[in-house]
Chains A and B, each alone.
Chain A
Amino acid sequence: MNKAKTLDIVKKYTMILMLVLITAFFAWRTNGAILLPMNVSSLISQNAYVFILATGMLLCILTGGNIDLSVGSVVCFVGAIGAVLMVNKGMNMALAILIMLLIGIAIGAWQGFWIAFVRIPPFIVTLAGMLIFRGLSNVVLDGMTVSIQNCTTFVNLFGGGANCYIPDVLGGGGINMTCIVAGVIVMLIFIASQIIGRLNKKKKGYELEKPVGMIVKTVLISAVILAFTVRLAQHKGIPSVLIWVMIVILVYSYITSNTTIGRYFYAVGGNEKATKLSGINTNKVYFLAYLNMGFLSALAGMVTIARLTSAQPTYGQNYEMDAIASCFIGGASAYGGIGTVPGVIVGAVLMGVINLGMSLMGVDQNMQKVVKGLVLLAAVIFDVVSKRGGKLIEKN
């Protein structure tokens, strides 16, 4: 019992602890370079697609450890179509965005149909999708690069490049006041929500968290928010892509934790038969997971071409692997039913920090892959072993 409880607590906060330790390690090895405003900012812009895709991937994984291998190709395909529409056909931006999203949803529906209703293993369906949409990207782009440098509104709206920041309306010389104000507002909203939640619980007579724990948690999170915004303010302010990422994180955190459909994802992964016998249409749940993955892949596609200001047939390669790795590192169970959006985001940040840190240290690209692979393996071993009650070897 006690051992299980310790394991529970360790499991709950390991990844945050790991993130802190790894960041500290890189701060030391890079003489603090990793914490420079510019690098903090680029951590967001470089990894925006991972945050978005990992959130969608979480829903698939929740349904029972199912993954979507096609997202990298879908990102590329949707981006390619968008670029071709806006540049070659001169289409209106809003219409192009709409078409891109619809294509993403259509792809999700296509794959979701086979997976959910025909019950073709997701691995197979999405492996096929990976090939199909990579091929189609090439067809759409005719094997060439399409530059979208001139679509400035689009690039500024979704991008993470040099000028893609929220304009500083408040001014403030060397520091971006808009960013600071926004950060403080977010922090205040967070603190207020914590307090109101607690008061509500108290009023209705529910069990309360220990005050010390809650205060420590609130102060720590507030401090992180504040430190983070100061860093951004010292650079160029809020990257516009951060807004999209925040929206995705908040909306999906809410859906997974507070809505009935969110609950269904967990239930299906926890015990599909029991869920079915509880009157829940499990086919629909699988379908929605992949439909949504298509939608978020489209969003990630827009973010990707905006950041790179072009579309190429090779974009999006290995994006699925980044997303899957983030989920598992972030505590999603390889068997489904367990995992949270914030956890997955921590996983994605962890991967981002490792990438950035090693690049700053000048570690060879190939060795970086080795390290990332080992981190992923370690995270899943941890998940499996802790589920078995701490025993490393499965009894034969």
Chain B
Amino acid sequence: MAKVLLEMKNITKTFPGVKALDNVNLKVEEGEIHALVGENGAGKSTLMNVLSGIYPYGTYTGDIIYNGEVCRFNQIKDSEEKGIVIIHQELALIPYMTIGENMFLGNERGRKYKLDWNETFGRAGELLKTVGLQETPQTLIKDIGVGKQQLVEIAKALAKNAKLLILDEPTASLNETDSKALLDLLLKFKKQGMTSIIISHKLNEISYVADKITVIRDGSTIETLDKKTDDISEARIIKGMVGRELSDRFPKREKHIGDINLEIKDWSVYHPLYSERKVVDGVSINARKGEVVGISGLMGAGRTELAMSVFGKSYGTNISGKLCINGEEVHLNSVHDAIRHKLAYVTEDRKGNGLILSNPIKINTTLANLDGVSSHSIIDKDKEYSVAVEYKEKLKTKCPTVEQNVGNLSGGNQQKVLLAKWMFADPDVLILDEPTRGIDVGAKYEIYCIINQLVAEGKTVIMISSELPEILGMCDRIYVMNEGRIVGELDGSEATQEIIMSCILKSSSKGA
């Protein structure tokens, strides 16, 4: 048996209100490629952040044993010194610097006051050869594609004398040729004795490169599969990923489904910056009154982009397609238009795009419908206060007063304020994007109750969620989306996690 290079023992990490990791164990042997798989939010990235020192020693419990010694990393530099290098999903390169400069950023060649550019570019050139990238080290990062940038990241890791390479979704934004090249590169490194940990959603890629696969679910390690001894087919991995039972974590509701309220036909959207990239591709969906429609898919499937482009074109360029509300075609050119047509989009990023954290609850509650508490542009502050109190009570938001700043609330209560804001705007169709992300189980249940209440009032709820149990537990009908396209439509009663997952994976592997 090969030497164990890294062992993470009983790692537990809590964020305010949420236990992200619960006694996680991971054992990686020298010279293997170890894959970490799990649903979004299962805790994979958190685990890697603990390993690399982004969450410093003391903010978690448990031990990291690397190369036979217990390590206590206080910052990324500490782990990098040991040869543990992480490459994040979001590339961290500076566009207007050269490849060489980027590779040695924070790790500069030469002396502090006299950088040695010959060594920088010379060494960079050697490493670029190692990763098989045919560019000069003087090329600017902005001039090369994402695939090549990913290779630069790997070369950068090599420049730090990486012994353990961690790749978080390395192929997420790569096309099939680039992905294949990257995976082959990992296999080549393996032959040279490099150890790697790879996080990926693309199970076909994992089957291709991984020696061992550790499955993480809900912050715990479920199992570790060995290529030599275990079955590592996609079906087997999926079973491990989604294995949990659906208990009564979801409130029941009576179905009263009415006419079609919202219909989107052949909807396509292009990326706002890279205008040749199609983010949403010919999507057609509909939603009825009193219905909860789910849109399932992995991160980056284009769900948020679809929702936001429908919501007054707040995302994307070159949007085409037909949008009908109540059977009439409408053209929503601004968020204001969308709100006027009784559409609401409750963002997945409540802190970044949803709430003004430095303002009190009452101001956040009325922001999308200030006209509702004012006449002739003059705000009736008393009315505003009573509206805020009304919604606070309706949604059972836990806070001392509505004068409290939203930034001081827990995630679940912030989510309720965000819902209150959009409910006060009095929409007929609500698009809820990841409505329970990062909130605890109790608050989730309350959010589900609010959703039931909304559809009972005859409203339409479109729920975007990466959590399969939630989609299955709440939705009457489910669309599965992948790579910008709708790849499946399922009835809520017949859908299972396995069916949804295989819808996604089948459509992915068509490309790969």
Whether, in the assembled complex, B230 has its beta carbon less than 8 Å from a beta carbon of chain A, the answer is no
CB A264 to nearest CB in B, in angstroms, measures 8
Q: Contact at B314–A276, with CB atoms within 8 Å?
A: yes
Q: Which of B336, B352, B358 has the most CB atoms of chain A within a 10 A radius of its CB? A: B358
Known A270-B356, A274-B354; judge A201-B382 contact (CB<8 A).
Answer: yes
Whether, in the assembled complex, A273 has its beta carbon less than 8 Å from a beta carbon of chain B, the answer is yes
Q: Contact at B355–A277, with CB atoms within 8 Å?
A: no
Q: Contact at B352–A273, with CB atoms within 8 Å?
A: yes
Known A207-B401, A279-B338, A279-B339; judge A274-B377 contact (CB<8 A).
Answer: no
Whether, in the assembled complex, A3 has its beta carbon less than 8 Å from a beta carbon of chain B, the answer is no
Whether, in the assembled complex, A204 has its beta carbon less than 8 Å from a beta carbon of chain B, the answer is yes
Known A263-B370, A337-B356; judge A279-B312 contact (CB<8 A).
Answer: yes
Contacts of A279 in B (CB 8 A): 312, 334-336, 338-339, 368
CA distance A275 to B379 in the complex (A): 17
CB B31 to nearest CB in A, in angstroms, measures 35
Bitwise interface map of B from 403 to 430 toward A, beta carbon under 8 Å scored 1, else 0: 0000010000000000001000000000
Whether, in the assembled complex, B1 has its beta carbon less than 8 Å from a beta carbon of chain A, the answer is no
CB B21 to nearest CB in A, in angstroms, measures 22
Q: Contact at B385–A206, with CB atoms within 8 Å?
A: yes
Whether, in the assembled complex, A338 has its beta carbon less than 8 Å from a beta carbon of chain B, the answer is yes
Contacts of A4 in B (CB 8 A): 408
CA distance A280 to B366 in the complex (A): 12
Whether, in the assembled complex, B257 has its beta carbon less than 8 Å from a beta carbon of chain A, the answer is no
Bitwise interface map of A from 259 to 300 toward B, beta carbon under 8 Å scored 1, else 0: 111010011001101111111110000000000000000000
CB B119 to nearest CB in A, in angstroms, measures 27
Q: Which of B336, B356, B363 has the most CB atoms of chain A within a 10 A radius of its CB? A: B356
CA distance A270 to B312 in the complex (A): 22
Contacts of A278 in B (CB 8 A): 335, 367-368, 421
CB B173 to nearest CB in A, in angstroms, measures 23
Q: Contact at A275–B367, with CB atoms within 8 Å?
A: yes
Whether, in the assembled complex, B378 has its beta carbon less than 8 Å from a beta carbon of chain A, the answer is yes
Known A273-B353, A279-B338; judge A206-B379 contact (CB<8 A).
Answer: no
Interface SS of chain A: helix
CA distance A299 to B335 in the complex (A): 36
Whether, in the assembled complex, B357 has its beta carbon less than 8 Å from a beta carbon of chain A, the answer is yes
Q: Contact at B355–A274, with CB atoms within 8 Å?
A: yes
Q: Which of B312, B353, B371 has the most CB atoms of chain A within a 10 A radius of its CB? A: B353
Contacts of B408 in A (CB 8 A): 4
Q: Which B306-364 residues sit within 8 Å CB-CB of chain A? A: 311-312, 314, 334-336, 338-339, 345, 347, 352-359, 363
Whether, in the assembled complex, B255 has its beta carbon less than 8 Å from a beta carbon of chain A, the answer is no
Select B386's contact among A206, A277, A280, A338, beta carbons within 8 Å. A206
Whether, in the assembled complex, A258 has its beta carbon less than 8 Å from a beta carbon of chain B, the answer is yes
CA distance A280 to B367 in the complex (A): 9
Q: Contact at A337–B336, with CB atoms within 8 Å?
A: no
Q: Contact at A266–B334, with CB atoms within 8 Å?
A: no
Q: Residue on A with the closest CB to B349? A: A273
Whether, in the assembled complex, B175 has its beta carbon less than 8 Å from a beta carbon of chain A, the answer is no
Contacts of B311 in A (CB 8 A): 277
Q: Contact at A277–B382, with CB atoms within 8 Å?
A: no
Whether, in the assembled complex, A365 has its beta carbon less than 8 Å from a beta carbon of chain B, the answer is no
Whether, in the assembled complex, B394 has its beta carbon less than 8 Å from a beta carbon of chain A, the answer is no
Q: Contact at B347–A277, with CB atoms within 8 Å?
A: yes
- The number of residues on chain B lying at the interface, defined by a beta carbon within 8 Å of a beta carbon of chain A, is 34
Select B379's contact among A201, A259, A280, beta carbons within 8 Å. A259
Whether, in the assembled complex, B381 has its beta carbon less than 8 Å from a beta carbon of chain A, the answer is yes
Whether, in the assembled complex, B14 has its beta carbon less than 8 Å from a beta carbon of chain A, the answer is no
CB B398 to nearest CB in A, in angstroms, measures 14
Known A200-B382, A258-B379, A267-B367; judge A277-B354 contact (CB<8 A).
Answer: yes
Contacts of A338 in B (CB 8 A): 358
Contacts of A201 in B (CB 8 A): 382
CA distance A270 to B356 in the complex (A): 5
Contacts of B378 in A (CB 8 A): 258-260
Contacts of B368 in A (CB 8 A): 278-279
Whether, in the assembled complex, B374 has its beta carbon less than 8 Å from a beta carbon of chain A, the answer is yes
CB A395 to nearest CB in B, in angstroms, measures 10
Contacts of A207 in B (CB 8 A): 401
Interface size class of A (residues with CB under 8 A): 20 to 34
Q: Which A183-230 residues sit within 8 Å CB-CB of chain B? A: 200-201, 204, 206-207
Select A260's contact among B336, B370, B401, beta carbons within 8 Å. B370
CB A390 to nearest CB in B, in angstroms, measures 15
CA distance A270 to B314 in the complex (A): 19
CA distance A206 to B384 in the complex (A): 11
Contacts of B353 in A (CB 8 A): 271, 273-274, 277
CB A179 to nearest CB in B, in angstroms, measures 32
CA distance A280 to B378 in the complex (A): 16
Contacts of B334 in A (CB 8 A): 279, 281
Contacts of B370 in A (CB 8 A): 260, 263
Contacts of A267 in B (CB 8 A): 356, 359, 363, 367
Q: Residue on B with the closest CB to A278? A: B368
CA distance A206 to B312 in the complex (A): 37
CA distance A281 to B334 in the complex (A): 9
Contacts of A274 in B (CB 8 A): 347, 352-356, 367
Q: Residue on B with the closest CB to A262? A: B379
Bitwise interface map of B from 235 to 277 toward A, beta carbon under 8 Å scored 1, else 0: 0000000000000000000000000000000000000000000
Bitwise interface map of A from 330 to 372 toward B, beta carbon under 8 Å scored 1, else 0: 0000000110000000000000000000000000000000000
CA distance A276 to B338 in the complex (A): 12
Bitwise interface map of A from 50 to 82 toward B, beta carbon under 8 Å scored 1, else 0: 000000000000000000000000000000000
Contacts of B401 in A (CB 8 A): 207
CA distance A267 to B368 in the complex (A): 11
Q: Contact at A260–B356, with CB atoms within 8 Å?
A: no
CB A384 to nearest CB in B, in angstroms, measures 13
Select A271's contact among B357, B382, B385, beta carbons within 8 Å. B357
Contacts of B355 in A (CB 8 A): 271, 274
Q: Which of B339, B347, B359, B374 has the most CB atoms of chain A within a 10 A radius of its CB? A: B359
Select B381's contact among A258, A271, A337, beta carbons within 8 Å. A258
CA distance A177 to B386 in the complex (A): 45
CA distance A274 to B356 in the complex (A): 7
CA distance A271 to B334 in the complex (A): 18
Q: Contact at B358–A270, with CB atoms within 8 Å?
A: yes
Contacts of B335 in A (CB 8 A): 276-280
Select A277's contact among B314, B374, B381, B385, beta carbons within 8 Å. B314
Q: Residue on B with the closest CB to A1? A: B408
CB A298 to nearest CB in B, in angstroms, measures 24
CB A3 to nearest CB in B, in angstroms, measures 13
Q: Contact at B314–A260, with CB atoms within 8 Å?
A: no
- Not counting A258-B381, A279-B368, a sample of 16 additional A-B residue pairs whose C-beta atoms are within 8 angstroms of each other reads A201-B382, A206-B382, A258-B379, A260-B370, A260-B378, A260-B379, A263-B379, A267-B356, A267-B363, A270-B359, A273-B353, A278-B368, A279-B335, A279-B339, A337-B356, A338-B358
**What residues of chain B have their CB less than 8 Å away from a CB belonging to chain A?**
311-312, 314, 334-336, 338-339, 345, 347, 352-359, 363, 367-368, 370-371, 374, 377-379, 381-382, 385-386, 401, 408, 421
| 29 A-B pairs (CB sep. < 8 Å) | A204-B382, A207-B401, A261-B377, A263-B367, A263-B370, A263-B379, A267-B356, A267-B367, A271-B352, A271-B356, A271-B357, A274-B347, A274-B352, A274-B353, A274-B355, A274-B367, A276-B314, A277-B311, A277-B314, A277-B347, A278-B367, A279-B334, A279-B335, A279-B338, A280-B335, A281-B336, A337-B356, A337-B358, A338-B358
User: Lowest 6 A-B CB distances belong to which pairs?
Assistant: A270-B356, A278-B368, A279-B336, A279-B335, A279-B339, A271-B356
